[in-house]
């Protein structure tokens, strides 16, 4: 199957997956950064 036909049939799912992958990666970075800040705040409070 060529790239053309593959994308013709499955393109929408790949794009959908890519969209949410990017969103999830970004949200994960937000969570990580949030946790790091909370930890730093707790360390400073000591």
Partner 1 sequence: MKRLFPILAAISAIFLAYVGYQCLFVAPADAQQGTVYRIIYYHVPSAWTAFLLFFINFIASIQYLVHDKPSAKSATNRIVIIIGALGAGATFLPVVQQQLPAGMRPSAVATTVLLIPIFYFLIGRWFRGQMLDVLAVTAAEVGVVFCTIVLVTGPIWARPVWGIWWAAGDIRLKSTLVLWLIYISYLVLRRFSNSAQTQTLAAALAVFGALDVPLVYLSIWFFRTQHPQPIIGGGGSIDPHMLNMLVLSWMAFLLFAFLVCWSRFHLELLQREVEAAAALDSLGSAAVPMKASLPVTRSTS
Alpha carbons 17 and 15: distance in angstroms, whole number: 5
Instruction: Check residue 34 for interaction with partner 1 (CB under 8 A).
Output: yes
Instruction: Check residue 16 for interaction with partner 1 (CB under 8 A).
Output: yes
Instruction: Check residue 1 for interaction with partner 1 (CB under 8 A).
Output: no
Q: How many Cα atoms sit within 13 Å of 15 on the Cβ side?
A: 7
Instruction: Check residue 28 for interaction with partner 1 (CB under 8 A).
Output: no
Q: Which residues bind partner 1 (CB under 8 A)?
A: 3-5, 7-9, 11-16, 18-19, 22-23, 26-27, 30, 33-34, 37-38, 40-41, 44-45
């Amino acid at each position: 199957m060529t790239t053309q036909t593959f994308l013709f049939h499955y393109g929408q799912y790949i794009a959908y997956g890519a969209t949410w992958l990017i969103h999830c990666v970004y949200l994960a970075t937000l969570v990580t950064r949030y946790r790091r800040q909370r930890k730093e705040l707790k360390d400073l409070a000591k």
